[in-house]
Structure 1
Amino acid sequence: MEEITTTQSQIDLLQAALDHVNQGFSVFDQNLRLLAWNRGLWEMLDFPQTLAKRGTHLEDFLRVNAERGEYGPGDIEGKIKRRLQRAKLFEPHYFERVRPNGQVIAVNGTPLPQGGFVTTYSDVTESRRKQEKLERTVEERTRALRQSEDWLRLVTDNIPALIAYMAPGPIYRFANRRYADWFGQSVTSIVGKTGPEVIDPSIYAEIAPHIEHAFRGNAVSYEYQRILHDGRKVAMRSTLIPDMTVDGRTLGVFVLSLDATEQKRSEATLMQSQRMDAVGKLTGGLAHDFNNLLTILMGNLLSLSRHEGALDPEALKKRISPMMQAAQRGSELTQRLLAFSRGRPVDPKVVSLPGLLENVESLLRGSLPSSIVLDIDIDESQPGARIDPTQMETALINLAFNGRDAMPEGGTLTLRLTQVELDERQATDLGVVPGSFALVSVTDTGIGMEEETRLRVFEPFFTTKTFGTGSGLGLSMVYGFARQSGGAVTVTSARDRGAEFSLYIPSVRAPSSAALASAETADRDAYLPFGNGELILLVEDNADVAKVLAEQVRDLGYTVLLAESADDAAALATDLTEIRGVLSDIVMPGQTNGLALARQISRRRPDVAIALMTGYADWGDLQSDEKEVDFPVLTKPIGNDRLAQTLAQILDSKAAAAKQ
């Protein structure tokens, strides 16, 4: 009796524990009759208390549910029968049932070893509501994100810029329509492709170092040019911004590219304006130089006229030698001034910087007042640079004239050329790539500038000069040239302590000035070839010039025939088979210029050697449709050595062709 009491107490204790569980609980035997349950089952599923007894068959529970619509409308007996058949299989099962009141019950049944099963019932209504809410939120946010991406695509596709994102590789992860079109891709086809697969190999080889520099965590700007299918040359200016994490890792690079073609044209126009402004300042000094040269010429000519026939060969040579040197000096000054004033499109080439500074010195010497001392200091390392030489000369002359204006009472203007190595920190401060740089500094001992002015000195249109005396573009164009050349420009100054502008340009190996001078000397001293009486047709519209040139050609051993016009020359070259060569001026009055005449004669007489002459620094600008020249062009005044070499070469070339 005591054992029964103890067992009953344990059962009651177990039942009390089960009643406090927040789940429903039931145990059915192998005959599908109720063995155990807890209070939570009745509270959760609202079963009648009459069923709460051992031995109640599962069918009774199913019937209650079916009759109150828990299983939906339809055949009640059929619904009960199908559920009983599944229960008799005694298989593990889990399902969720939504009651008519919206309550969601999770039913989890586990079979017992001797038959029957234990089932738990969980009210998951709140959990499912939260899940549905979360799913709706995710769906709404996905829809919003998709809409945001659509808006982003719409915006970026309509911005007049090329926009892209590159992951390490570099691999494209995004590109707007303009960027994709620029490289012949679509916005979908470009994604996943590498840089070399998208960008033309010649262009990629040029910009690859900039991309690598950006992936190392540096903002980079650069320019490149491309020729379109229709033959137009366009310029693109790109900026790469690294996408970096807080700990300094580079996840990718944002790319922004703008069509800079029109801007480059505007810059060229501004550069020409600056050149012409500098030319105006240079001409006063050059006029002084030319007056000195003319004095030498006129003085010696007067001396020759006074002593006509009375001078011995040595005395005659002393009069002629300075005249020849003065004429040569005048020719060099003219060519440099014309080349500088006419300029060229941006045309980077490897240039010897010492030679370039010497050219600038020759232009500046006569343009500075006597109160200013010009000091040129060139490093023995002979650095070179890949630059547009005309732009470099323009920049240095602008800086020199700024220094001159800062020294109204006189002083010293110093142009210094050295070579420096920039480490990572120094290069980062200047915004350039570390390496070897040519440093060209222009220093004056003038009035200097205040810090506020120094910080704004490279701004376009900013000037401290009196209205109408300065455009405010000179120093901004110096800055633009430095950046365009892959370099930088800085300025240090203080009030009453002068100023120093420093141009950093990436240096390359270039022939030294001494080597170039040696080569020129060797050319001048080379054997001077003479003719054997060959007949040369000379075409020159200026009678005085024609007379001098004819005499010069005769002195070189040739026979000369003068033509009065281009039409006369064409007829003579056709009719006189004895003519072996033609020497023609390019720019002449009338419809036919020298180049057209040369081509006409060449078609009729392919055996005739032809050379052209011009007094213009850049004659091609006069004939926009004549850019390719098939004949050697001699610039007036023509030295004997150059004329002799050219005539010999073109005649030998025709003779060799005739033998083949």
Structure 2
Amino acid sequence: MNYSAAMEETQQLKTQLDLMQAALDHINQGFSVFDADLKLVAWNRGLWEMLDFPQTLARRGTHLEAFLRVNAERGEYGPGDIEGKIQRRLARAKLFEPHYFERIRPNGQVIAVSGTPLPQGGFVTTYSDVTEDRRRQEKLERTVEERTRALQQSEDWLRLVTDNIPALIAYLSPGPVFRFANRRYADWFGQSVTSIAGRPAPEVVGEDLFREIAPHIERAFEGNAVSYEYERTRPDGTLAYMRSTLIPDMTKDGRTLGIFVLSLDATDQKQAEAALVQSQRMDAVGKLTGGLAHDFNNLLAILMGNLLTLGRMEDPVSKEILDARLSPMLEATKRGSDLIQRLLAFSRGKAIDPQTVSLAGIVSSAGRLLDGSLPSSIELTVRGTDETIAARIDPTQMETALINLAFNARDAMPDGGTLTIALDETRLDELEAKDLGIAPGAYARIAVGDTGSGMDADTQLKVFEPFFTTKSFGTGSGLGLSMVYGFIRQSGGAIQISSALGVGTWLTLYLPLVRLKAVQSPATQSGQAATLKRGQGELLLLVEDDPDVANTVTDQLQNLGYSVLLAESAEDARTLALELPELRGVISDIIMPGQVNGLALAREIRGKRGDLGIALMSGYADWSSLSGQDRSCEFPVLAKPFADDQLADTLQQILMKDR
């Protein structure tokens, strides 16, 4: 190659290097290349501007040590042995290993240094000013820290608030799994607020309770707000009623993330409601008293008239004449016993106790109670004898509801009219059910109608509100219809009102239908009852302190084919029961003034002679409160007075059981 050609090639190479240098100078990072001897080969302007190196170093061949010395002498590596700092850095550089580190300069500038080794030795290094990035990162970290503290404070405040609210609060995620519970909720289920988090709901609340509330939880996860009640036994053995509301936690697109749980202790409220129900029931009993007094006077008139007639007869009378006098007397006593038992059952009542019952029997019983309690100007019509139409309800509450509706109808007909109670079944389609706020399907329908004064539209809207009444001050509580409404809704049904001024009012109750199997006809039942189950001379011990009652029951037992031994005290009964091996059974009165009550006596005898059949009898409706015993009686109890067939059935039950 001649000289001119070499010069031209050198010029082209210089031009290319100048172009490369110009490109490197436009990079916003510092750039340097050192060879295997740690001597500077290439750089850009950004390196000198960023790190403020003297321009005298900006030449090929400058050793790395010169750059390190400048930095060390101006304190970039911190105080201490300058030569030592330089030599340690040179030793690391001679390893030619990839490296990255960040160095904070005395002026606060943060430089990120990244070195990559070259194949023939040496390395390429880039220098980046990351000061602003690190400041933004620090600011972000401070913000996150501050917000974390604020969130923790908010959680602490939330925990403080929820723990002091007199309610049970929790949050369930799908599973369902508990994610949060306040202190009261955790305590209620024997957990702590930390131990309850993350645990499956069945494990926390118990399998039995979870089976009961699982359908409500499922509905809530489907996006529905749900309210329900449940009962649970406290550690001290008392029963608590809880009222829970589940609110779904939903996203804008309709997904359910979880459910909020709010539970309140409704025990006091349930007790207050029970007391209010009992008050309303007793109010109805008071209204029934006049009619019942009329019925009892008629019964007493039958008894007295026939007894006086028999007393005036001086000569022996024939069996036909005697039967003619005794039959109406026996029928009157049966009617009186039935009447007083229904009245006592109605007045006694109890809290909501749902059971599947035939509605025809309840409607019929309410009709009999009302029959003598309405003025003669009001005609009572009861329709509906299909005993297969049933519902799961509290029967006493249902009868109370019908009585309240009937008395409201009576008050709306001061000049007389017609009161109708009708029972049938119906099927509600989706539109009809939606209007009533219940599910479509089959329902038992009880309609109570009158031909009274009726109501205007404004009164119909308010009639179910608590304490609303159209009666004069002091004559009505305004709670009757609201309690009927609450009972029907609690039983899964609905109530509908239809009324017009001057025409009358119809109140229609809808209850979810339960279909019972066909019930035996009264004729068949009476035919079966006519055949008494007689004894075969078995020896029975009768414990009764009233001589007249003892004689009457003794006659009944003997007429049924039994032998009878009478004991007038608990002490005599105890001795005879333990000393007579031929004794087969014991019948004892429960309430014996001044003595051991019959239930305690029966249990004592049963403990020593398990072979004896034992039955009890009582003339008290609420004998348990008088005897100081609970109602968990393991023996059959006959309510005085009792007919021969009732006595015969009970004796067969206890004697056959112990054979």
Amino acid paired to 2:99: H
Q: How do residues 52-451 of structure 1 correspond to structure 2 at under 5 angstroms? A: 52-301=58-307, 313-314=319-320, 317-378=323-384, 380=386, 382-420=388-426, 436-451=442-457
Distance in 2 separating the partners of 1:233 and 1:404:
39
Tell me, yes or no, if structure 1 residue 637 matches structure 2 residue 614.
no
Partner residue in 2 for 1:461:
467
Partner residue in 1 for 2:616:
612
Task: Assess, with a 3 A threshold, how the Cα gap between structure 1 residues 330 and 86 changes in structure 2: closer, same or farther.
Answer: same
Tell me, yes or no, if structure 1 residue 556 matches structure 2 residue 560.
yes
Greater CA drift, 177-186 or 91-100: 177-186
**Aligned 8 A contact 1:538 1:550 in 2:** no
Secondary structure, counterpart of 1:515 in structure 2: coil
| Count of residue pairs brought into register by the alignment | 653
Q: How do residues 492-503 of structure 1 correspond to structure 2 at under 5 angstroms? A: 493=499, 498-503=504-509
Tell me, yes or no, if structure 1 residue 595 matches structure 2 residue 599.
yes
Distance in 2 separating the partners of 1:101 and 1:434:
80
Task: Assess, with a 3 A threshold, how the Cα gap between structure 1 residues 643 and 496 changes in structure 2: closer, same or farther.
Answer: same
Shift of 1:559: 5.3
Shift of 1:14: 4.1
Task: Assess, with a 3 A threshold, how the Cα gap between structure 1 residues 405 and 75 changes in structure 2: closer, same or farther.
Answer: same
Shift of 1:446: 3.7
Match 2:537 to one of 532, 538, 543: 532
Partner residue in 1 for 2:476:
470
Distance in 1 separating the partners of 2:564 and 2:351:
39
Task: Assess, with a 3 A threshold, how the Cα gap between structure 1 residues 574 and 60 changes in structure 2: closer, same or farther.
Answer: closer
Task: Assess, with a 3 A threshold, how the Cα gap between structure 1 residues 53 and 493 changes in structure 2: closer, same or farther.
Answer: farther
Match 1:39 to one of 31, 45, 55: 45
Distance in 1 separating the partners of 2:584 and 2:28:
119
Distance in 1 separating the partners of 2:501 and 2:27:
89
Amino acid paired to 1:356: I
Distance in 2 separating the partners of 1:425 and 1:129:
66
Partner residue in 2 for 1:521:
526
Task: Assess, with a 3 A threshold, how the Cα gap between structure 1 residues 351 and 624 changes in structure 2: closer, same or farther.
Answer: farther
**Aligned 8 A contact 2:360 2:387 in 1:** no
Partner residue in 2 for 1:49:
55
Distance in 2 separating the partners of 1:19 and 1:581:
120
Secondary structure, counterpart of 2:520 in structure 1: helix
Distance in 2 separating the partners of 1:193 and 1:433:
34
Tell me, yes or no, if structure 1 residue 623 matches structure 2 residue 592.
no
Task: Assess, with a 3 A threshold, how the Cα gap between structure 1 residues 138 and 601 changes in structure 2: closer, same or farther.
Answer: closer
Distance in 1 separating the partners of 2:522 and 2:222:
44
Distance in 2 separating the partners of 1:82 and 1:3:
43
Deviations 1:171-197 (A, max 9, x none): 222222222232233323322322222
Distance in 1 separating the partners of 2:70 and 2:58:
13
Shift of 1:276: 0.6
**Aligned 8 A contact 1:385 1:510 in 2:** no
Shift of 1:200: 2.7
Task: Assess, with a 3 A threshold, how the Cα gap between structure 1 residues 446 and 33 changes in structure 2: closer, same or farther.
Answer: farther
Structure 1: runs of 5+ lacking an equivalent = none
Shift of 1:280: 0.5
**Aligned 8 A contact 1:352 1:511 in 2:** no
Distance in 2 separating the partners of 1:483 and 1:540:
49
**Aligned 8 A contact 1:528 1:645 in 2:** yes
Task: Assess, with a 3 A threshold, how the Cα gap between structure 1 residues 479 and 355 changes in structure 2: closer, same or farther.
Answer: same
Distance in 1 separating the partners of 2:193 and 2:266:
23
Task: Assess, with a 3 A threshold, how the Cα gap between structure 1 residues 652 and 94 changes in structure 2: closer, same or farther.
Answer: closer
Amino acid paired to 1:116: G
Amino acid paired to 1:515: Q
Distance in 1 separating the partners of 2:471 and 2:291:
22
Amino acid paired to 1:467: F
Match 2:650 to one of 626, 646, 659: 646
Distance in 2 separating the partners of 1:202 and 1:435:
29
Shift of 1:104: 0.9
TM-score if structure 2 supplies the norm length? 0.87
Greater CA drift, 295-304 or 364-373: 295-304
Task: Assess, with a 3 A threshold, how the Cα gap between structure 1 residues 123 and 600 changes in structure 2: closer, same or farther.
Answer: closer
**Aligned 8 A contact 1:445 1:498 in 2:** yes
**Aligned 8 A contact 2:624 2:630 in 1:** yes
Secondary structure, counterpart of 2:372 in structure 1: helix
Shift of 1:128: 0.8
Task: Assess, with a 3 A threshold, how the Cα gap between structure 1 residues 565 and 591 changes in structure 2: closer, same or farther.
Answer: closer
Task: Assess, with a 3 A threshold, how the Cα gap between structure 1 residues 55 and 425 changes in structure 2: closer, same or farther.
Answer: farther
Amino acid paired to 1:187: V
Task: Assess, with a 3 A threshold, how the Cα gap between structure 1 residues 40 and 571 changes in structure 2: closer, same or farther.
Answer: closer
Amino acid paired to 2:63: H
Secondary structure, counterpart of 2:223 in structure 1: coil
Shift of 1:301: 4.5
Deviations 1:267-317 (A, max 9, x none): 222221111111001112222222333344445455556677697655654
Distance in 2 separating the partners of 1:186 and 1:167:
18
> How big is the alpha-carbon RMSD for the aligned residues of Structure 1 and Structure 2?
3.5
Task: Assess, with a 3 A threshold, how the Cα gap between structure 1 residues 8 and 470 changes in structure 2: closer, same or farther.
Answer: same
**Aligned 8 A contact 2:532 2:648 in 1:** no
Task: Assess, with a 3 A threshold, how the Cα gap between structure 1 residues 431 and 27 changes in structure 2: closer, same or farther.
Answer: farther
Task: Assess, with a 3 A threshold, how the Cα gap between structure 1 residues 500 and 135 changes in structure 2: closer, same or farther.
Answer: farther
Secondary structure, counterpart of 1:463 in structure 2: coil
Deviations 1:399-449 (A, max 9, x none): 222233233344443334344556778777766667654343434444444
Shift of 1:98: 0.8
Task: Assess, with a 3 A threshold, how the Cα gap between structure 1 residues 91 and 605 changes in structure 2: closer, same or farther.
Answer: closer
Deviations 1:174-224 (A, max 9, x none): 222222232233323322322222233332222222222222222222222
Task: Assess, with a 3 A threshold, how the Cα gap between structure 1 residues 140 and 492 changes in structure 2: closer, same or farther.
Answer: farther
Distance in 1 separating the partners of 2:538 and 2:372:
45
**Aligned 8 A contact 1:339 1:618 in 2:** no
Shift of 1:341: 0.6
Task: Assess, with a 3 A threshold, how the Cα gap between structure 1 residues 132 and 37 changes in structure 2: closer, same or farther.
Answer: same
> What percentage of aligned pairs have identical amino acids?
67
